[in-house]
A = this chain, B = another copy of it.
Amino acid sequence: MTVWDRPEPPTRPAPLDRERIVAAAIALADEGGLEAVSLRKVAARLDVGPMRLYGYISTKQELFDLMVDEVYAEILPQEQPGDWREALRALAHRTRHAALRHEWLADLLGGRPALGPNALAVGEVTLAALNSLADIDTAMRAVETVSAYFTGAIRREIASLRAERATGLSKHNWQRASGPRLTRMLATGRFPALTKAVYDGTDVDAEASFATGLEWVLDAVAAKLTRPPV
């Protein structure tokens, strides 16, 4: 019996697992933003019927959760950081860089509790860095405060970045020059402080402004950590 006589084996279904699914979804999101992620497109990229995915996730939201946790793996520092301040600073900057690599992360950050394994691991090393310096409650408050800051700051930065991209102008230049409505509103004189800020404010690098605000918040945390040393 030659090869020609034997029928082809039936096409086996493409092997699949969550890792592959999440990777495909992240690739789509990196290319076209969150809105480019549809279960149908993810499935297509894996040569699979859309319904197949429901064996691995039961809702699109769960896919987003998995994507976020995958990014937390990038955020998790490889080596144990030095002191608490370095740990929190690193967490903030690593999260920011992850969001710059995966802008869609900004849309998801803080949107729901992150309870995946990698997110937990990040939480663990972060809390651990504060272990010996404060009681648990203070430590949690510190982490939450810093996290709130950088979550909000990252979201704003990505939002500005997208707006710039959409208009093709830097935010500052846009406000000053062609944003016609804004220019008109500022010209009304009803917003003197804003106007001064727009025209006289220094254009500062996004990373620098992020870092500055972060150090302020870290200073605040430091004050609370050392005040009652516990």
Interface residues of A (CB under 8 A from B): 107, 109-113, 115, 117, 120-121, 123-124, 127-128, 131, 136-137, 139-141, 144-145, 147-153, 155-156, 159-160, 162-163, 171, 182, 185, 190-194, 196-197, 200-202, 204, 209, 212-213, 216-217, 219-221, 223-224
Contact = CB atoms under 8 A, between A and B. Distances in A.
A128 B141 CA distance: 30
A148 B137 CA distance: 22
A120 B139 CA distance: 36
A145 B216 contact: yes
A200 B136 contact: yes
Contacts of A201: 136-137, 140
Contacts of A153: 144-145, 148, 152
Q: Among the interface residues A136, A145, A182, A190, which one has the most CB atoms of the partner chain B within 10 A?
A: A145
Given A109-B155, A128-B193, 5 more contacts: A120-B194, A136-B202, A139-B197, A145-B149, A151-B156
Contacts of A156: 110, 144, 147-148, 151
Contacts of A216: 141, 145, 217, 220-221, 223-224
Contacts of A123: 191, 194
Q: Among the interface residues A148, A191, A192, A213, which one has the most CB atoms of the partner chain B within 10 A?
A: A148
A224 to B, nearest CB: 6
Given A139-B197, A148-B150, A128 B192 contact: yes
A176 to B, nearest CB: 14
A127 B194 contact: yes
